Structure 1
Amino acid sequence: MRRFFSYLMLFYFLVFFLQESQAQQISSTYSDSTITKRSFIERIPYKELIVPVGLMSYGLIALESHFLIGQNKDLRDELRENIDRKFSVDDFSQYAGTASIFALDAFGIRAKHNLKQRLFAAAVSNAIMTATVMSIKNTGNVWRPDSSANNSFPSGHTATAFVGAELLWQEYKDRSIWYGVAGYAVAAGTGFFRMYNNKHWLSDVAMGAGIGILSTKIAYWMLPLIDQNKQSQSVTYMFIPGYNGKQLTIAGNIRF
């Protein structure tokens, strides 16, 4: 169990602090005067690929590496020895980051981008992530730790959570790094509970995290495709949460 938490803490701090070290470069890359004069490929800050590609590489290598496969099983066994009951918090925490970029702004904590841009980033990042995760799941053959299905790789819950964490980081890192800390802590916790609940291996979680982060970065690289200089003059929106006894739902109405 101690070794597992060491992996978890290393995983979380690697993700967050490498993001922080790149903040200044990212800010300069996205200056308005530069964006309008450079092609999409030229605008990509390739150092941002270090973390997501590293995580995804680990996940892919672990599919064939006997050592990493053994590590997956050792961590699973350590967790099973300490599991008394399952916690389904990961079914809800995966959406926390994405919801926060709208909820915080609604409560007066202003995001970096306007509502239209945030909706674009959230929609595109989740679309890329979902398409990638489902494509890999449908062509893969990795059994879940509990042997319930052979679509374990990668973790969709974790990918969704890290999409939200990166959205939160992009929107609020200039206001305070603690929003990013909170977002990545929740995302790392989601990955932990996927393993704790015996639904995923560590390699599934790493791959999902990498996909989630990279999908969101791509979405923000695409933001210039919508008019960044055009501010939404008249935008109203309303979100109404609900619960039907089994599922948490949210209904919304947005008018530009």
Structure 2
Amino acid sequence: MLKTFLLFVLGISVVQAQEHVTDSIVGVKDTVVQVQKHVADTLMVKDTVHNLKFNYKQLIIPGVLIGYGFIGLESDWLKGFNSQIRDEVKEDIDNKITIDDFSQYAPAASVYALNAMGIKGKNNLKDRSIILATSYLMMSTTVFALKKITHVERPDGTSYNSFPSGHTANAFAGAEFLWQEYKDKSIWYGISGYIVATGTGLFRMYNNRHWLTDVAAGAGIGILSTKAAYWLFPYVKNSIFPSKENKVTSMLMPFYNGKQFGGGMVVQF
């Protein structure tokens, strides 16, 4: 657990001439206590992270989804199946529904919404944000690279960056994030996230923007990226927030206690 030492290193007091020096010192001490409490709450220095331990079984579902997508790049049978699904969907399309442009963000956003409503997940704001950022970085890098390498034409013929589905990857990364943060509260939080993510993938096909293999691979990449983010979190956190021997961070803030003005610096190491 991190130990935080709050040092008040700068005090500039403006007091009336008739005030005694001792009164000023007492006022500064009271202010320091208030600053310490506020900053400790703000920085959330308590180490609340719950790491996800690696287990090869966790690779099965995303591995199958990604494998299906990659096999579909070369399999004539799966390509034909893709076309069959596309043709059946096109028969029922009257108007495109763009809800998938927004639903892709819903699962991840739900984690922050639930915390804002007082339903706390596993990790604090800082830790879960680092995990989500790591997941999205790995997911987006992988998706972008594969789109450039595979050069698969979209079902609607508008471009050659169909594989894998970025919207679906985004949605499933968020769904796995929601699952990991709230599965111990209730599995229904995670299930609802996966329902939304699945709907996002279906709408990508309904809107004729992706093949089934694109959606499957995107889902697998999204899930795996978030799992990997939890596995890697201790290393990522240590690189961003080094051990106490090397870590020195600070925050400068003003204060006013009704009689005195001043400045305070919080040093965390």
Report deviation, 1:123. 0.2
Aligned to 1:114: 124
Matched, 1:194 2:194: no
Report deviation, 1:117. 1.1
C-alpha RMSD of the superposition: 2.1
Report deviation, 1:116. 1.1
Report deviation, 1:222. 1.5
Report deviation, 1:223. 2.1
Report deviation, 1:105. 0.4
> Which entry has the higher C-alpha Rg, 1 or 2?
2
Matched, 1:185 2:206: no
Distance 2:233 2:111 in 1: 16
2:223 to 201, 213, 216: 213
Distance 2:183 2:58 in 1: 15
What percentage of aligned pairs have identical amino acids? 58
Aligned to 2:55: 45
Aligned to 2:246: none
Report deviation, 1:139. 1.3
Distance 1:80 1:112 in 2: 43
Show CA shifts across 1:11-44 (max 9, x none).
xxxxxxxxxxxxxxxxxxxx97xx7xxxx9xx52
Structure 1, unmatched stretches of 5+, are 1-30, 229-255
Aligned to 1:81: 91
Name the SS of the counterpart of 1:143 in structure 2: coil
Name the SS of the counterpart of 2:202 in structure 1: helix
Q: Give the paired residue count.
A: 192
Name the SS of the counterpart of 2:74 in structure 1: coil
Show CA shifts across 1:95-127 (max 9, x none).
001111111101111111111111011100000
The residue correspondences of 1:231-250 to structure 2 (distance < 5 A) are none
Distance 1:223 1:63 in 2: 33
Name the SS of the counterpart of 2:122 in structure 1: coil
1:157 to 167, 172, 177: 167
Name the SS of the counterpart of 1:62 in structure 2: helix
Residue identity matched to 2:176: E
Residue identity matched to 1:199: R
Structure 2, unmatched stretches of 5+, are 1-48, 242-267
TM-score of the two chains, using structure 1 as the length reference: 0.72
